[in-house]
């Protein structure tokens, strides 16, 4: 395996790890507040559909992104209503969201577009385009570091860089702010938090809403950046993989980055060498 092949595999790793990372951080906020969320898959799926549908109809990928985030937050609100307000079983609520999203997306897609449960292909301003960082082409000829900068660091969409930025941002919010301290306390000892006069319900709703935003970005990335439209069940179990990565990472943001990059690398290698006999 030559150097350029390694860079191509690593580039694919970053792209494939991005939705896993966003969903993993989403689950981290929710579970730190004491809400187990197996519905990451469903929220990503419905966000992928509505982001692609709105981007196609409006011609604006940013409107599509907002639609994806909004639809994901709606399902997060339903999960919060079932598991926080009505104190229902969190596992059943999450599974129900996954089934609801899987059926709803195909049904609406077929009704709106009549293309077998998928949206038309997105082109132009309806997709996120790769960003070429400054001096990427100039430094391409520099041995080793040039190709790394031009091929691996540069050339990703803005959502990839946003996902990477979310890792230190999540760490700072959870471990360096009053909000993060209260959020973690709600997950570890809600009775003590309630005694201190802090709304446990309010903090948990805030956590599931943040979870919805991040899942919405992850789903929008799948449909408007990684691919050029929505197809049936396009999340392909990524929500469950993100949940596994979260457990593997021990609910810590930096470990979550490492875990999702590992899963992304394994997927990238599998896709590149799937035809080897």
Domain that holds residue 230: 3-128+158-265
Phi, psi (rounded to 5 degrees) for 131: -105, 125
Q: Is residue 80 part of a domain?
A: yes
Spatial contact of 74 and 277, defined as CB atoms under 8 Å apart: no
Q: Is residue 271 part of a domain?
A: no
Q: What is the CA radius of gyration of the chain?
A: 19
The three-class DSSP label of residue 39 is: coil
Spatial contact of 74 and 16, defined as CB atoms under 8 Å apart: no
Q: Is residue 11 part of a domain?
A: yes
Q: Is residue 23 part of a domain?
A: yes
Query: Which strand (E) or helix (H) includes residue 92?
Result: helix 90-113
Q: Is residue 145 part of a domain?
A: no
Cα distance between residue 64 and residue 58, in whole Å: 8
Positions of the chain with pLDDT under 50: none
Domain count, the chain: 1
Q: Is residue 218 part of a domain?
A: yes
Q: Is residue 27 part of a domain?
A: yes
Cα distance between residue 31 and residue 252, in whole Å: 11
- State how far Cα 161 lies from the chain centre: 13
Q: Is residue 243 part of a domain?
A: yes
Give the per-residue pLDDT at 61.
96
Give the per-residue pLDDT at 225.
95
Predicted TM-score (pTM) of this structure: 0.95
Cα distance between residue 58 and residue 124, in whole Å: 12
Give the per-residue pLDDT at 3.
82
């Amino acid at each position: 395996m030559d150097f350029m092949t390694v860079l191509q595999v690593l580039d694919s790793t970053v792209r494939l790890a991005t939705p896993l990372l966003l969903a993993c951080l989403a689950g981290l906020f929710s579970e730190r507040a004491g809400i187990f969320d197996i519905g990451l898959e469903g929220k990503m799926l419905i966000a992928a559909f509505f982001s692609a549908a709105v981007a196609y109809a409006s011609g604006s990928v940013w409107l599509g992104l907002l639609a994806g985030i909004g639809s994901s937050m709606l399902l997060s609100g339903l999960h919060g209503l079932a598991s926080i307000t009505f104190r229902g079983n969190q596992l059943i609520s999450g599974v129900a969201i996954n089934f609801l999203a899987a059926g709803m997306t195909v049904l609406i897609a077929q009704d709106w577009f009549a293309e077998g449960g998928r949206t038309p292909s997105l082109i132009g301003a309806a997709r996120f385009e790769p960003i070429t960082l400054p001096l990427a082409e100039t430094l391409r000829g520099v041995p080793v570091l040039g190709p790394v900068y031009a091929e691996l660091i540069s050339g990703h969409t803005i959502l990839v860089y946003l996902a990477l930025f979310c890792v230190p941002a999540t760490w700072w919010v959870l471990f360096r702010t009053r909000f993060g301290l209260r959020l973690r306390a709600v997950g570890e000892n809600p009775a003590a938090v309630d005694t201190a006069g802090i709304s446990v319900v309010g903090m948990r709703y805030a956590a599931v809403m943040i979870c919805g935003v991040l899942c919405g970005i992850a789903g929008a990335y799948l449909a408007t950046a990684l691919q050029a439209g929505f197809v049936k069940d396009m999340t392909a179990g990524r929500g469950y993989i993100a949940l596994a990565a979260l457990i593997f990472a021990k609910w810590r943001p930096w470990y979550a980055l490492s875990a999702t990059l590992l899963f992304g690398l394994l997927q990238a290698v599998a896709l590149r060498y799937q035809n080897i006999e």
